[in-house]
Structure 1
Amino acid sequence: MLEFHPLQLEDLPKLRDFFAYSGSRICDTTPGTVFMWRDMYHTEWAIYDGSLYFKVDYPGLGPTFTLPLGGGRPEHYRQIAGYCCRRGMPISFYPVPKDELDRLQTAFPNSAAIPTRDAYDYLYRAEDLQFFRGKKLSGQRNHVNKFLKTYGNWSFRVITPEDLPAVGAFLDRYAAGVDKPSASFHEDLAKTREVLGNYTTYDMLGGMLLVEGEIVGFSLGEIVGDTLFTHIEKADRDYQGCYQMLVAQFAQQFAQDGVHFINREDDAGDPGLRKSKLSYHPVTLLEKYLVTVDEPCKFCDCEDT
């Protein structure tokens, strides 16, 4: 029987290995995304028979379940159906990647699937973001060349524990100059500070861009499978080409052997962010769906769950 518990940062070390079961390139099944957004989305977790389950309360969707990590899907589905049946609630799965949709709807024949475009992840070839080669990426390449021409004394370095106070100070300056009313913006800042304050626990990859010895941008992410996920990216727009330079340097540093793709996450429906992410020419958009099942009791034997 599933027993859910509020997700806390101290749970990360004991749950980390489960994420290797993901099999998907969407950001929602990475440790970084799950733990950074756990408070805003009231994430809860349960382990049953060697598999990890998450229950997440996304705004406007109510309680939803991500696809469990580990073991066999049919047993996962029966456990979730039993949980919902006993509580008289419908089943909602979210986010469901496109490559899992057919299997899920085969298990739940009467389910409804709704695409959620604002949540689609942008997936890029690693080499495209490393060097911005070709005509289609000439705009980004021009921004990098402008940066190189304007700021001769620059460097990019891997973030070490000794650098964290300086990175935190840059984040404070960034936050003071870029204010948005959205709750997600402020939660992103809060969790970026949490990552910096718990760098060993999160175990992310970090790099910082410097001009004249001063930090002008930094990125944090992680590798799962063949994909580098960029979870955090902050830069000073007063430096021309700073973001494009940061994107390229982060990719060159960390998209090494075995890493073929870079996931730069979704655009949350923001028109400016969508335009920016499309301008880097993703190889594909990773589709995500909300799948709902109205009668969970048809798919479980509650006496056995």
Structure 2
Amino acid sequence: MSRSDNALFFFTPIGPKPADVIIALFENFNEIEFHRVPEQVTEDLKNHEKFLALNIKTFEDRDNWDYVYEGENLRNLPSNRYRQNRRWLNKFLENYDYEFKILTEDEVATCKKLQLEWCILRECEDDEGLEQEEKAIYDALDNFSALGFQGALICVDDKCVAYTFGEMLNSDTIVIHIEKAHMEYEGAYQAISNLFLKGSFKNAIFVNREQDLGVPGLRRAKESYKPIHMVQKSILYRKHSK
């Protein structure tokens, strides 16, 4: 959320020494904000010689913290800690005659159809955040191969009921960008998450499932999978005195 209607918005610069770039921008613009700034960059800024003089303010952006999990835990759902997750997964596997597919260009239209149905049920047109997400999803699906994403979908009676896609963030971590499932199929979310990791990312040590955006149900779902680490992010801002 913006702290000013007139502020210029930036995300964290990509490349070497992002803290230096942020400092330079604060020196050259009056009202400016940086969103989703990772904790290491924030710490580098606080240690910068110009940080205090520029009167840069920071506050935690909890809604955009990333959830990071152990891959083995999400693939195997061990022990009683994952009892509820296993129950929903098994409910889907036992109740539906499903087909798990790797996402290819030929399946993109099928995923778009599910996304449209999902948005109708969730009334995306009345929620700016969901509208923006829908556009981003369509853009990602249209450029699926060029972006280097990997994905999967689950079909029941030749109908797509869940899909997901992500990519390797680094040598040992996969980041899941999107997971969507039809709400009428119980356990579909748990199924697409589990089957995708088992089928496409058997050796991923860590899984980054991104943020919850402050949505209560999404936060409960992400917390239920027992993250081992949260990638903290902050918002940085500063206003010049008049």
Q: Deviations over 1:167-212 (max 9, x none)?
A: 2222222222221422110111122122222223333111001223
Q: Deviations over 1:85-137 (max 9, x none)?
A: 344x1554332222333222111441432112112111111112112111111
Q: Which runs of 5+ in 1 are unaligned?
A: 1-57, 296-305
- Do the aligned residues in 2 keep the contact of 1:80 with 1:91 (CA within 8 Å)? no
Which residue matches 1:199? Answer: 144
- Count of equivalent residues: 232
Q: CA deviation at 1:293?
A: 5.2
Which residue matches 2:120? Answer: 176
Which residue matches 1:288? Answer: 233
SS in 2 for 1:249: helix
Which residue matches 2:73? Answer: 128
Which residue matches 2:27? Answer: 85
Q: Deviations over 1:9-55 (max 9, x none)?
A: xxxxxxxxxxxxxxxxxxxxxxxxxxxxxxxxxxxxxxxxxxxxxxx
**Distance in 1 of aligned mates of 2:38 and 2:69:** 17
User: Do structure 1's residue 189 and structure 2's residue 189 form an aligned pair?
Assistant: no
Which residue matches 1:31? Answer: none
User: Do structure 1's residue 94 and structure 2's residue 42 form an aligned pair?
Assistant: no
Taking CA–CA contacts closer than 8 Å with sequence separation of 6 or more, which of the two structures ends up with the larger relative contact order? 2
How well do the aligned residues superpose, as a CA RMSD in angstroms? Answer: 2.2
User: Do structure 1's residue 238 and structure 2's residue 184 form an aligned pair?
Assistant: yes
What percent of counterpart residues are identical?
A: 25
Which residue matches 1:55? Answer: none
SS in 2 for 1:199: coil
Amino acid of the structure 1 residue aligned with 2:107? D
TM-score, with length taken from structure 1: 0.69
**Structure 2 residue corresponding to 1:255, chosen from 201, 204, 208:** 201
SS in 2 for 1:238: coil
Amino acid of the structure 2 residue aligned with 1:248? N
- Do the aligned residues in 1 keep the contact of 2:11 with 2:36 (CA within 8 Å)? yes
- Do the aligned residues in 1 keep the contact of 2:63 with 2:212 (CA within 8 Å)? yes
**Distance in 2 of aligned mates of 1:104 and 1:256:** 37
- Do the aligned residues in 2 keep the contact of 1:81 with 1:91 (CA within 8 Å)? no
TM-score, with length taken from structure 2: 0.85
Q: CA deviation at 1:158?
A: 0.7
Which residue matches 1:157? Answer: 101
Pair 247,65 (structure 1): closer, same or farther in 2 beyond 3 Å:
same
- Do the aligned residues in 1 keep the contact of 2:92 with 2:191 (CA within 8 Å)? yes
**Structure 1 residue corresponding to 2:64, chosen from 103, 119, 127:** 119
**Distance in 2 of aligned mates of 1:191 and 1:68:** 20
**Distance in 1 of aligned mates of 2:39 and 2:178:** 25
Amino acid of the structure 2 residue aligned with 1:253? G
Which residue matches 1:142? Answer: 87
Q: Which runs of 5+ in 2 are unaligned?
A: none
Pair 192,102 (structure 1): closer, same or farther in 2 beyond 3 Å:
closer
- Do the aligned residues in 2 keep the contact of 1:228 with 1:254 (CA within 8 Å)? no
Pair 273,92 (structure 1): closer, same or farther in 2 beyond 3 Å:
same
Q: CA deviation at 1:294?
A: 5.8
User: Do structure 1's residue 106 and structure 2's residue 47 form an aligned pair?
Assistant: yes
Amino acid of the structure 2 residue aligned with 1:279? S
Larger deviation, residues 58-67 vs 192-201: 58-67
- Do the aligned residues in 1 keep the contact of 2:23 with 2:51 (CA within 8 Å)? no
Pair 83,104 (structure 1): closer, same or farther in 2 beyond 3 Å:
closer
**Distance in 2 of aligned mates of 1:206 and 1:169:** 16
**Distance in 1 of aligned mates of 2:193 and 2:213:** 20
